[in-house]
Amino acid sequence: MRSSVYRSGFRWAFLLVLLLALPLGAWADWGAVNMPRGVTEISNEVYTLHMRIFYICCAIGAAVFGVMIVSMFLHRKSRGAEPATWHESTSVEIVWTVTPLIILIAMAIPAAKVLIKMEDFSDSEMSIKVTGYQWRWHYDYIDSGVDFYSQLAPEHNKARQQGADVDLEATFTGTDFNGEEPIYLRQVDNELVVPVGVKIRFLHTAADVIHSWWVQDLSIKKDSIPGFINENWARIDEPGIYRGKCAELCGRDHGFMPIVVRAVPQEEFDAWIAEKQEATVAANENSHRQWSKEELIATGEKVYQANCMSCHQAEGQGIPGMFPAISGSEIATGSVDEHIGTILNGVEGTMMSPFASVLSDADLAAVISYQRNALGNATGDIVQPTHIKSLRDDVDAAVTESVASAADNILTQGVN
């Protein structure tokens, strides 16, 4: 009686599996089930290793489960099977200890070879320093003096806020090396542009907590650790757009610090670098002129949305207990210089990180003017970029300096 209950139970359960599995399987996107091959020599070798170990695992699984299934069918009491009494065999034990060992050695050798190649940083032709911040990346082209911040593109940042009612699929489509793809949360304001066919050395560090710079198509993932420099490298074969993400939990907006690498031919890269260098000069000039109030507040709103909003919220109301409000806060309505100091230096022991090296004088002036004249505040104060500059000269930006000098020391002495 028991066994018939069991059999009908089994049959129902089996049907349930089929009923669930079939439509779900048909409906799912089978394109996104495996590791991509990527676009570097290393990423191709990693892909090969991955597939090889995967097939080995499938074979082991098939053998073990096959024997189990045969046994469960043949050696069941309901078929009248009599139990054997043996329970030991040294020779069998030796076989199934040694065989896996041989498979492992066969797997370990190619894996070690790829690993050694990944760790060979010699003969790199250019270096890019990547610094992780909560929650943006800073790229520094060490050889050409170009540097900038890169963070989640503003329209994505709006769409990912709680309660934002956006049709993600219709709104966010872009291209990468696979062609048209949905790019929600995978777009940045400033892309990292690199030349193809060049061995690029990436140097990783962080300013606050540990991050991890991961671009799957380049087979690169390395932790960015405050106070330390890690390195890895890539030589990209094909021009294209390669997207990545922060892989190490780094706080509230860990899921929202994407990476976009645009690989272009060398001439195009040279032109881009020249353009960036000119833009740096122009930005410096911007910091020296006088701005109008309207101009400051309009720019400040954009800076606020990109840098402050995710914690202090769209209307400056903050999140009680976690992130203080800006509306009516003592800092944003009190002394202007203290307000500037708070933003330049951050608040130690909290998630308010120093913005001294993140924002330009013009952006700082704009966002402070905005905070004092919007979000429910109306102090009427405006701050000019030149004022920030004069304060900056006084302020001891110790944190950023020490990170930078530690980095330079390691750079000049070599890594590892």
Partner 1 sequence: MSSNDVTHHAADDHDHDHGHDEHGPAPGLMRWVTTTNHKDIGTLYLWFSLVMFFIGGAMALVIRAELFQPGIQIVDPMFFNSMTTMHAIVMIFGVVMPAFVGLANWMIPMMIGAPDMALPRLNNWSFWIMPFAFTIMLSTLFMDSGGPAGGWTLYPPLVLQMGDSFAYVIFAIHFLGISSVMGSINIVATIFNMRAPGMTFMQMPMFVWTWLITAYLLIATIPVFAGAVTMLLTDRFFGTSFFNAAGGGDPVMFQHIFWFFGHPEVYILILPAFGIVSSIIPTFARKPLFGYDSMVYATASIAFLSFIVWAHHMFTTGMPLAGSLFFMFSTMMISVPTGVKVFNWVATMWRGSMTFETPMLFAIGFVIMFTVGGLSGLMLAITPADIQYHDTYFVVAHFHYVLVPGAIYSLMAATYYWLPKWTGNMYDETLGKWHFWISTVFVNVLFFPMHFVGLAGMPRRIPDYSLQFADWNMIATIGAFGFGFSQLMFVYIIVKCVRGGEKATANVWEGARGLEWTVASPAPYHTFETAPAIESSTVTR
Residue list 18-57, contact with partner 1 (CB under 8 A): 20-21, 24, 27-29, 31-36, 42, 45-46, 49-50, 53-54, 56-57
Q: Minimum distance between the CB of residue 406 and partner 1, rounded to whole angstroms?
A: 7
Of 139, 149, 184, 370, the one binding partner 1 (CB under 8 A) is 184
The interface region with partner 1, picked from 285-293, 345-353, 364-372, 379-387 by CB under 8 A, is: 345-353
Tell me if the bond preceding 135 is cis, omega within 30° of 0: yes
Residues 260/218, Cβ–Cβ less than 8 Å: no
Binding footprint of partner 1, residue count (CB under 8 A): 123
Inter-axis angle of helices 266-288 and 361-373, nearest 10: 50
Helix (H) or strand (E) holding 397: none
Q: What is the chain's Cα-based Rg? A: 29
Token output for 263: 């690989």
Stretch that binds partner 1, among 63-71, 268-276, 285-293, 368-376 (CB under 8 A): 63-71
Q: Does 81 bind partner 1 (CB under 8 A)?
A: yes
CB of 151 to partner 1, least distance (A): 15
Residues 259-288 that bind partner 1 (CB under 8 A): none
Which C-beta is closer to partner 1: that of 204 or that of 339? Answer: 204
253 touches partner 1 by CB under 8 A: yes
Count of residues in the chain: 416
Q: Under the criterion CB under 8 A, does residue 248 sit at the interface with partner 1?
A: yes
**Binding to partner 1 by residue 223, rule CB under 8 A?**
yes
Give the strands of the sheet with 192-195, arranged side by side. 192-195, 258-264, 240-246, 211-215, 220-224
Determine the interface stretch with partner 1 among 95-103, 193-201, 259-267, 378-386 (rule: CB under 8 A).
Answer: 95-103
Task: Specify the residue for token string 């370990």.
Answer: 108
Rounded CA gap, 346 and 393, in Å?
A: 17
Q: Does 246 bind partner 1 (CB under 8 A)?
A: yes
Q: Which is nearer to partner 1, 320 or 380 (CB)?
A: 320
Strands of the sheet with 126-133, listed across from one edge: 146-150, 136-141, 126-133, 199-206, 230-235
Closest by alpha carbon to 137, among 286, 282, 253?
253
- Contact between 5 and partner 1 (CB under 8 A)? yes
- Distance CA(203)–CA(225), nearest Å, equals 11
DSSP conformation letters of 130-141 = EEEETTEEEEEE
Instruction: Identify the helix (H) or strand (E) that includes residue 319.
Output: none
CB-count exposure of residue 255 (10 Å: 0-12, 13-18, 19+): middle
- Classify burial at 72, counting beta carbons within 10 Å of its beta carbon; exposed 0-12, middle 13-18, buried 19 or more: exposed
Using rule CB under 8 A, residue 179 touches partner 1: no
Rounded least distance, CB 351 to partner 1, Å: 5
- Closest to partner 1 by CB, 204 vs 372, is 204
Using the rule CB under 8 A, is 72 a contact of partner 1? yes
- Rank residues 115 and 279 by Cβ distance to partner 1 and give the closer one: 115
Q: What would the two tokens of residue 370 be?
A: 């905005």
DSSP category for residue 81: P
- Residue of the chain from 39, 128, 159, 241 that contacts partner 1 (CB under 8 A): 159
Window 353 to 392, contacts with partner 1 (CB under 8 A): none
Asked if 106 is part of the footprint of partner 1 (rule: CB under 8 A), the reply reads no
Q: Minimum distance between the CB of residue 155 and partner 1, rounded to whole angstroms?
A: 14
Select from 91-99, 188-196, 358-366, 382-390 the region that touches partner 1 (CB under 8 A): 91-99
Q: Which span sits near partner 1 by CB under 8 A: 227-235, 338-346, 373-381, 388-396?
A: 227-235
Q: Which of 128, 146, 236, 250 binds partner 1 (CB under 8 A)?
A: 250
